[in-house]
Amino acid sequence: MEQQQAKTYAGNHSQSAASGSTSSPENKSSQMETIPSPNPIPSSTGDAGPSDPKQLRRILANREAARRAHSRKKEYVRKLEREAKEAEERVAMLASQVAFQRMHLTILSGENSQMRERLQVLENHQAHKEAETEALVKERETLLLLGSLQLQQQQGGSSSSNNPNNVDK
């Protein structure tokens, strides 16, 4: 009788744990005869083992708890393995992106250097043109001044006799 109760308890308990539902008294009575125990408990008649029903229930509960703990541990390990695989895939993807960005950085650095050199050439050219323009402006002013002086000298010699305001008498 005790062995039958232990089998029934173990069967009901493992089935309810597997299905995720709690078993009601009606379900227990219908499952008593149909579900064998996965781990038979030694009986008190021929085998050495506990004969107290409370002790049997405790042993079965401990076994079930150990089975659930083992199952949780396996699931946790599978989860960690999935996460590790995803992390490795992400690292591989990011490594290729890093390589691409480094290559892009090298290209942009080269272009930047070329643009700085071009800018330096243009600044030097502009400074040269500004100096040249300044020299030409000074030369123009000098030529205009000389031209006006010559014009005054030419007019001064001929206009002094014609100019009534000229008072050199």
For residue 37, the one-letter residue type is S
Measured CA to CA, the distance from residue 103 to residue 101 in angstroms comes to 5
CB atoms near residue 39 (< 10 Å): 13
Lowest-confidence range among 5-14, 96-105, 129-138?
A: 5-14
Domain for residue 135, yes or no?
no
Number of domains present in the structure of the chain: 1
> Where does residue 25 fall: left (phi above 0), alpha (psi -120 to 50 degrees), or beta otherwise?
alpha
Would you give the distance in Å from CA 24 to the centre of its chain? 51
Cβ partners under 8 Å of residue 6, min gap 6: 37, 41, 53, 56, 57, 60
Q: Where are the beta strands (DSSP E) in 10-91?
A: none
Asked if the structure places residue 74 within a domain, the reply is yes
> Is 20 domain-assigned?
yes
CA atoms within 13 A on the CB side of 161: 3
The CA distance from 20 to 68, in Å, is 12
Residue 91 counted as domain residue: no
CB atoms within 10 A of CB 137: 10
pLDDT beyond 50 at 16: no
- At residue 162, the pLDDT reads 55
pTM of the model: 0.42
Range of the domain at 78: 2-84
Cα 63 from Cα 40, distance rounded (Å): 11
Give the tens place of pLDDT for each residue, 61-119: 999 999 999 999 999 999 999 999 999 999 999 999 999 999 999 999 999 999 999 99
Asked whether residue 139 is assigned to any structural domain, the reply reads: no
Q: Is residue 151 in a domain?
A: no
One DSSP character per residue, 10-35 reads HHHHHHHHHHT-PPPHHHHHHHTTT-
- Are 63 and 39 in contact by the 8 Å Cβ rule? The answer is yes
Start-to-end C-alpha separation, the chain? 163
Separation of CA 19 from chain center: 40
